């Protein structure tokens, strides 16, 4: 039996309860075994560390500060050595400790440890051989419940990861559409300048020169030149308005982008 006389209990954060989907397991255990404090740890197989997933009562852990393969404290020792441990104030816990008895056991599922259940009682007679045997009998059912919750939690995490990926893709796609639209507008702007406004300026310029040369004359040719200039100026105004509108939109978008950058 491990002796814990040289290590006092550890209070972590002063929390009295950690309510999670795993809390139902501790509620189930409490209906059969009375305790003042309980902690349920999940063994993170990737990180190879114990993670506190549910807690009832003020959190206390023996062997404070002692590091083991899967973390700190007596629960980590149980995970490393893969065997249960029962400590009482009569033999193993210092007389000044608020804990009278402490029980911790590994939870096995599919030939591997998936977690640790640790219970504590203020009385030295609160947890004993009887409770240890009960925990062993319950451990298979507890481990099954825990594995189901693990699966649901992993599924939830996978869904959230997928959801974030979809949202990121939607944002990326929206940006690509905006860039494509902007590129098309720029192509339209370039075409408007090179294929309409510039040739139109040449046509209007030549028409005005010819009209000036016919100054003082009356006739069909002069009327046609005046009509060409009038219609050409209408087209020029429409083209200029389109270019100004596009320029204002592009400038406005740049201002918005600059504003967003300042707010970052």
| In the chain, domain spans | 10-162, 172-263
Q: What pLDDT was estimated at residue 40?
A: 93
CA distance linking residue 74 with residue 62, whole number of Å: 5
Tell me the pLDDT of the chain (264 aa) as tens digits.
444 433 333 334 445 666 788 999 999 999 999 999 999 999 998 899 999 999 998 756 677 678 899 998 889 999 999 999 998 887 777 777 788 899 999 999 999 999 999 999 989 889 999 999 999 899 899 999 999 988 888 888 888 888 888 888 888 888 888 888 888 877 877 777 777 778 888 888 888 888 787 776 767 777 888 888 888 888 888 878 877 776 666 655 544 344 443 443
| DSSP for residue 53 | E
Q: What pLDDT was estimated at residue 80?
A: 92
Q: What pLDDT was estimated at residue 6?
A: 36
Helix, strand or coil, per DSSP, at residue 17:
strand
| DSSP for residue 241 | H
pTM for this predicted structure: 0.59
Structure tokens at 19: 């309510």
Q: How many CB atoms lie within 10 A of CB 188?
A: 13
CA distance linking residue 236 with residue 204, whole number of Å: 9
CA distance linking residue 74 with residue 68, whole number of Å: 9
Domain 10-162 - what CATH class? alpha beta
């Amino acid at each position: 039996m491990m002796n814990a006389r040289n290590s006092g209990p550890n209070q972590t954060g002063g929390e009295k309860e950690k309510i999670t989907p795993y809390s139902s397991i501790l509620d189930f255990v409490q209906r059969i075994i009375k305790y003042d404090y309980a902690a349920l740890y999940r063994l993170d197989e990737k990180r190879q560390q114990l993670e506190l997933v549910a807690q009832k009562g003020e959190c206390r852990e023996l062997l404070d500060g002692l590091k083991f393969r899967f973390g700190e404290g007596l629960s980590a020792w149980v995970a490393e050595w893969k065997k249960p441990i029962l400590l009482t104030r009569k033999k193993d816990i210092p007389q000044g400790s608020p804990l009278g008895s402490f029980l911790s056991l590994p939870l096995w599922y599919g030939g591997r440890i998936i977690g640790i259940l640790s219970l504590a009682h203020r009385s030295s007679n609160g947890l004993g051989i009887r409770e240890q045997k009960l925990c062993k009998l319950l451990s298979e059912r507890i481990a099954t419940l825990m594995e189901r919750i693990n699966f649901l939690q992993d599924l939830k995490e996978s869904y959230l990861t997928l959801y974030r990926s979809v949202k990121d893709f939607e944002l990326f796609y929206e940006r690509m559409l905006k860039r494509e639209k902007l590129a098309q507008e720029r192509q339209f702007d370039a075409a408007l300048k090179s294929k309409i406004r510039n040739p139109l300026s040449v046509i209007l310029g030549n028409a005005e020169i010819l009209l000036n040369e016919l100054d003082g004359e009356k006739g069909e040719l002069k009327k046609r030149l005046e009509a060409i200039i009038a219609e050409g100026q209408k087209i020029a105004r429409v083209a200029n308005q389109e270019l100004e509108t596009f320029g204002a939109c592009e400038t406005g978008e740049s201002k918005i982008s600059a504003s967003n950058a300042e707010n970052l």
